[in-house]
Amino acid sequence: MTSVAQVEEPLRTGVRIASRDLVVDLSPRGARLVRMWARTSSGRWRDVLSGPADDEGYLASPSYAGATIGRVANRIAGGRLDIDGTAYELDRNDDGRTLHGGGDGFDRRTWQVVSTTSGCAVLRLESPDGDQGFPGRVVVTARFVVVGDRLGVRFRATTDRPTCVALTVHPYLHVADDPADARLWVPAAAWLPAAGKVPTGVVEPLDGHPADLRPGRSLADLVGATGGVDHTYAVDGTGMRPVARLRGRDVEVRMSSDQPGLHVYTAHDLPDTGGEPVRGVALEPGLYPDAVHHETWRSPVLRAPEVYVWNAMLRGGPARPLQLV
């Protein structure tokens, strides 16, 4: 059995939290998951995250790899929203849309490290009124906890006036060098078809669709059959539950979340900026994209004194038999 000391050295400006079975490196820039070392079937360590290791490489990359995303994850159509009859014009950083909170979103900020222990780190960010066009002052805490082979992530946010908050993490999970060896399951009977990368408002059954991931599909087959996925799956069930499993030959990651959707991005059209390539698949639990424009979907509007809470868990370890849980 290998030891924790045999993984790479901690980041110079980062925070490391660890157990006997999982080692996680965080960067305060973007409250970002940089590395997650899990045990393989042979007892060796494997980093199951992909993305730039240093902050400079991250800022030069369009990948959002590992970062905490906010105020609102994914896309807002037209870069505008209306709350209680007041219209707000947001920063448009994606062909007339607002993507991941705007061009200077939470992923590009340096978060305050509030506290650390060997297995837990708490980070904090204050977002002022008018930040990227969003109303209200928002205070966010991000808590990362490692216990055994599990990484728990919890976000809490408050505001002093009505605004929108819909956070996520953006890890690219990478369990195999060959995408044919990485098999993805998502327990979702439906997904959100999109036009111009924004949901149309329809929740469409996946029966017979090549993007149906209930039976499991290799990333190579998924991209080959669909041309690439950049869509939100309407995950079955409610509350904290399994939302995805990505299995390689000797290591796997299972994800649970309390969010209604899971955005799956196969990185098929990620621009090459000449830096370290991003591999694998991004799995982003959260509200449905553009939910502020769809009354029947769970709303991202947050009002004082409400507290926004978001939970997810990533479990990394040896590849297990082919069942989701």
Confidence bin at 223 (pLDDT 50/70/90): very high
Q: Residue 321 — very low, low, confident or very high, per pLDDT cuts 50/70/90?
A: confident
Instruction: Quote the pLDDT of residue 12.
Output: 74
Residue ranges in the chain assigned as alpha helix (H): 55-59, 219-226
- The better pLDDT of the pair 315, 325 is held by 315
Contact, 284 vs 168, CB < 8 A?
Answer: yes
Structure tokens that stand for 295 in this block = 């009354």
pLDDT at 155 over 70: yes
Confidence at residue 13, expressed as pLDDT on a 0 to 100 scale = 76
Of 173, 185, 181, the residue nearest 279 (C-alpha): 173
- Cα–Cα distance for residue pair 90/102, rounded to 1 Å: 7
pLDDT at 274: 62
pLDDT value of residue 273 = 64
Q: Which pLDDT value is given to residue 275? A: 67
Confirm if 98 and 91 have CB atoms less than 8 A apart.
yes
Question: Vertex 46, ends 43 and 50: CA angle to 5°?
Answer: 165
Which of 48-57, 234-243, 271-280 holds the top average pLDDT?
234-243
State the pLDDT at residue 4: 53
Q: How far is CA 91 from CA 112, 200, 284, in A?
A: 24, 22, 22
The reported pLDDT for the residue numbered 1 is 38
What is the CB neighbour count within 10 angstroms for residue 114?
12
**Would you give the DSSP letter of residue 7?**
S
Looking at residue 11, the DSSP 8-state letter turns out to be P
Between CA 47 and CA 172 the distance in angstroms is 11
Question: Could you read off the pLDDT of 174-200 as tens digits, one per residue?
Answer: 999 999 999 999 999 999 999 989 999
pLDDT in tens, 89-123: 999 999 999 999 999 999 999 999 999 999 999 99
Mean pLDDT score of the chain: 95
Cross-strand partners of 254? 245, 315
Q: What is the pLDDT of residue 278?
A: 87
In Å, how far are 1, 48, 101, 308, 310 from 167, measured between CA atoms? Answer: 37, 22, 9, 9, 7
Q: How far from chain centre, in Å, is Cα 250?
A: 23
3-class secondary-structure state, position 285 = strand
The reported pTM is 0.95
What amino acid occupies position 92? R
Lowest mean pLDDT among 10-14, 116-120, 142-146: 10-14
Collapsing DSSP states into helix, strand and coil, what is residue 184?
strand
Question: How many CB atoms neighbour CB 87 within 10 A?
Answer: 8
Give the whole-angstrom CA distance, residue 33 versus residue 253: 14
3-state helix vs strand vs coil in the chain, percent to 5: 10, 45, 50
Nearest of 125, 124, 131, 132 to residue 99 by alpha carbon = 132
What pLDDT shows up at residue 7? Answer: 80
Joined tokens for residue 235:
């995950």
* Residues 6+ positions from 4 with CB-CB distance below 8 Å: 18, 20, 23
Higher pLDDT, 58 or 10: 58
**Is a pLDDT exceeding 50 seen at residue 232?**
yes
Class of the CATH domain delimited by 4-318: mainly beta
Question: By the 8 A CB rule, do 135 and 162 touch?
Answer: yes
CA-wise closest residue to 8 among 44, 37, 33: 37
Where does the pLDDT of residue 2 fall: very low under 50, low under 70, confident under 90, or very high at 90 and above? Answer: very low
pLDDT of amino acid 53 = 83
Residues 250-267: tens digit of each pLDDT:
999 999 999 999 999 999
Q: 323 pLDDT band (50/70/90 cuts)?
A: low
